[in-house]
Amino acid sequence: MKTKLYNQKGEEIGDYTLPKSIFEIEFNPDLLHQVVLSQSSNRRQGTAKAKDRGEVSGGGKKPWRQKGTGRARHGSIRSPLWAGGGATFGPTNLKNYKKIVPKNMRRKAILMVLSQKAQNNLILILDKFETEKPATKETAKGFKKLFLEKGNGMVVLPEMDKNAILSVRNIKDARVMQAKDLNAFDLLQCKYVVMPKKSVEIIKDAFVK
C-alpha cells in the first residue's frame, strides 16, 4: 500500500510504501474490543470508597428505648436510614479491575488499528521529525497543513526526543508517544497518526512477530 510522504512543514515530497506486515492486517473487532476493554480497565484507579455503617463514627448507643416511645425502633444513629449514616452498597476499594490479555493479542490489536487507519488515509508519514530546540510555533504550522484542521492526531516518535516532545505537547489536538509504547487504546483516541519513516521500522521490530 502506497501513501504520500511529507516533510516537517507539511509539504508533500514523494511516496512511501507501507509495510504489509503492519498496515494490511485483517480486522478482528472481537479481539480489538477485548484488548481495549482490558486496557481501559487497567487504567482505573479503583480508589472510590464509601463508609458503611460499621465504619462511620458514633452510633454506639441505642437512640431511644425499644418500646413505649411511639417512635420507630432504631438501634443506631449510623444506620443507612439516618442522615450521616453509613452507605448501603456503596463503592469499596477492594475490587480489582485489572484484566490480563496475552501479549500477542495486544500486539495484533495495535497493528489492526494502524491497518484500519491506513485504509482510511489517516496515516501520515514524514521523512523525519527533528528539532534542534523546542519549536512549538513552527511545528504547529506543519501540523495545521497535515491534520489539525481536520481532526486530532498522535505523533509517534522513534525514540525519546525531549525537543520534539516539548514542541508538540502544547499544541491543541496533538499528542506525542514513542513507537515502542504504542497501544490500541491511545491510538483509537486520535483520528490521525503521524510518524517519521524511522518509527515504522521501530513498530515493525517491536510488534511484528
> H helices of the chain, where?
20-23, 29-42, 103-119, 136-143, 162-168, 184-188, 197-207
Instruction: Give me the chain's average pLDDT, please.
Output: 93
Instruction: Collapse the DSSP code of 77 into the 3-class scheme (helix H, G, I; strand E, B; otherwise coil) and give the result.
Output: coil
Query: Which residues does residue 123 pair with via DSSP β-bridges, in sequence order?
Result: 193
Mean pLDDT of 104-109: 96
Q: Is 59's pLDDT higher than 90?
A: no
Q: All domains of the chain, ordered by start, with CATH? A: 2-44+97-207 (3.40.1370.10), 47-96 (no CATH)
pTM: 0.83
Query: Measured between alpha carbons, how far is 157 from 122 in angstroms, rounded to an integer?
Result: 17
Quick one: what percent of the chain has pLDDT higher than 90?
84
